[in-house]
A = this chain, B = another copy of it.
Amino acid sequence: MKLDEFDRQIMDMLQKNARITIKEMAAVLTLSATPIFERIKRLEKNGLIDKYVALLNADLLGYKMVAFVQISLSQHNLKEVTAFVDRITVFPEVMECYHTTGDSDFLLKILVKDMDQFNDFILNKLSNIENLGKVKTQFALSTRKRTTEIDL
């Protein structure tokens, strides 16, 4: 799909603030409401705009701990890898899961309330999955940047 400068600006405004009104966008872009509306619908239809979400404050909700878990599997064929992914991604603690290059096979980003919940995740959820090799955890002392905004 071909994108022009208007499309990019519309996406950029929406990814910074999904509650911006079409009128407000019209004031910035020199364009009236209708074409902006139609461009948004087109961007949604083509999947460039994936979804609109509210971002919650994890800290205020008691989620105080972010951990990165590097995992090596003992078997690396397609079937084993798929089985692992299917089992690990259902856990709500798993915010992100990447199949990676390097020493380990997978990198998980885990969000939990405290060490107790992390411990429970490792012992009662992760460890029940077969085919696990090495597991190495790294904790976040602090989050210094976290954005969903793509550079346009």
Contacts and interface: CB of A to CB of B under 8 A. Distances in A.
Given A89-B145, A143-B96, A55 B63 contact: no
A138 B105 CA distance: 10
Given A46-B60, A61-B150, A55 B15 contact: yes
B50 A143 contact: no
B46 A50 contact: no
A98 B15 contact: no
Nearest to A47: B57
B57 A55 contact: no
A53 B56 contact: no
A58 B95 CA distance: 17
Interface in A20-72: 46-58, 60-61, 63, 66, 68
Contacts of A104: 138
A47 B50 CA distance: 24
Interface of A: 1, 11, 14-19, 46-58, 60-61, 63, 66, 68, 85, 88-89, 92-104, 106-107, 111, 136-152
19 contacts: A11-B56, A14-B53, A18-B52, A18-B53, A47-B57, A48-B57, A48-B60, A48-B61, A50-B56, A52-B53, A52-B55, A53-B55, A53-B148, A95-B146, A96-B145, A99-B141, A99-B142, A102-B136, A107-B138
